Amino acid sequence: MVSKSDLERGVEQGIISPDQLNKLASIVAEDGDGNSPQTELSQDALREAEDEAPRFIRSFGDLFIAIGTGFLGAGVMSAVSFLGNTIAAQMAGLVLIWLVAEWLTGYLRISAPSIVLSVLFTGFSAYFMATTLDASRWSNLATYETFMIVSAAALVAAGLFYLRFRLPFALAIVGLTIVGLGFTAIGVISSDFLLSNFRWIIGLGGLSLFSAAMWFDFKDPYRNSTNSDCGFWLHLIAAPMLTHAVLWDSHPAITSLQKAFGTTPVINSWMIIAIFFIFFGIIALIINRRALLVSSLGYVGSVIAYGIWQLNLPSGSATSVVLLVIATLILTFGVGWKPLRRLVFKLMPQGKYLDKLPPAHA
């Protein structure tokens, strides 16, 4: 009997593709009686698709190694600074981090410290480029031009790390640096245009990352390959950008509601936040991505806190209200996630795009 783990190893070794694994799961789901061993593959795949489990920590040992990797980064930074931030010292530091990545990421395939290494390699590349620009004739560059060069260095570093190790988290850094590079490029052309349209530009960046995440999700509806992890991290960084674009500077909407219903600005702000979070929650339920909600909660909390501050409430009571509201939202979606997904799927028309999403248990 071929088990699900055997087939997953076949995917990792390139014997079969993730799409073929998904089709096998569908065939077993159609032919099995629900109680036979043959349904193990489909049941496990459905369970993983429902649970949305990113694979980046296998045990406490991984976390322990990740902590050591963080100390390695601190040591490299200290040594480079001690040596005067020379180009030779900077290159030596980057080579050391890369060699450790070859061992932990390339050979041992440990995800948690690999995430730390990808951040270190990308961050140090950007920082070393910034210090090099500051110490050279390039120091006369305008701010946005300097940021653009630094962003380009970060993009190259993150791209090299992803192309070499195929680490899903590194792909998220690539997406983030591409958005940053786009911001700075617009700033070089016209800083006034960037500042006056920042809300829409960051919204476009978030929408681009969300689209990329959905591309990976459509390739892996059963969430049993690295495509799922790529989608997870991209959703995680896209959500705050989308939230910012929708909720930032919502005074026109608040004024419109006030004229229509005669309610106070504070009540109107609560209505806007509630409508947004319900809409965002429905999207998260459809695509089965809790990450879309989790990474936006911090921004929603800050908007709620600002609204409470406008009421001139004591800081203690304001904090309590914010925490209670966020806790209620998390518990509601957390406990009722699967029933809510089933309800949403029943209300949606069937089609080829729905078939590309993780199925909801009947």
Cβ-in-10-Å burial (0-12, 13-18, 19+) of 45 comes to buried
Query: For 260-308, how does the pLDDT look when each residue is reduced to its tens digit (9 = 90+)?
Result: 555 555 566 666 777 777 888 889 988 988 888 876 776 666 666 666 6
What pLDDT shows up at residue 91? 95
What pLDDT shows up at residue 100? 97
Q: Which long-range contacts (CB under 8 A, 24 or more apart) does 343-351 make?
A: 344/282, 344/285, 344/286, 345/286, 348/286
What pLDDT shows up at residue 171? 95
Distances 28 to 15, 44, 124 between C-alpha atoms, Å = 19, 12, 48
Distances 21 to 12, 121, 221, 320 between C-alpha atoms, Å = 11, 34, 11, 48
**Gap between the Cα atoms of 214 and 199, Å rounded:** 22
What pLDDT shows up at residue 32? 44
Q: Hey, which of 32-36, 117-121, 240-244, 291-295 has the most confident mean pLDDT?
A: 117-121
pLDDT value at 169 more than 60? yes
Which residue, among 173, 163, 174, has the nearest Cα to 105 in the 3D structure?
163
pTM: 0.78
What pLDDT shows up at residue 327? 81
Cβ–Cβ contacts within 10 Å for residue 294, how many? 16
**Gap between the Cα atoms of 219 and 222, Å rounded:** 9
Distances 123 to 120, 155, 204 between C-alpha atoms, Å = 5, 10, 24
**Gap between the Cα atoms of 232 and 117, Å rounded:** 19
Tell me which residue has tokens 């701010």: 143
pLDDT value at 80 more than 70? yes
Encoded tokens for 31 = 């032919």
Reduced to 3 states (helix: H, G, I; strand: E, B; else coil), residue 328 is: helix
pLDDT value at 34 more than 60? no
Over pLDDT 90: what percentage of the chain? Answer: 33
**Gap between the Cα atoms of 161 and 169, Å rounded:** 10
What pLDDT shows up at residue 39? 43
Q: Hey, which of 206-210, 246-250, 277-281 has the most confident mean pLDDT?
A: 206-210
What pLDDT shows up at residue 238? 92
What's the gap between Cα 27 and its chain centre? 32
Higher pLDDT, 9 or 189: 189
What pLDDT shows up at residue 230? 92
pLDDT value at 18 more than 90? no
Residues 6+ apart with CB under 8 A from 357: 217, 218, 221, 286, 287, 288
Which residue, among 177, 172, 179, has the nearest Cα to 216 in the 3D structure?
172
**Mean pLDDT (the chain, rounded):** 79
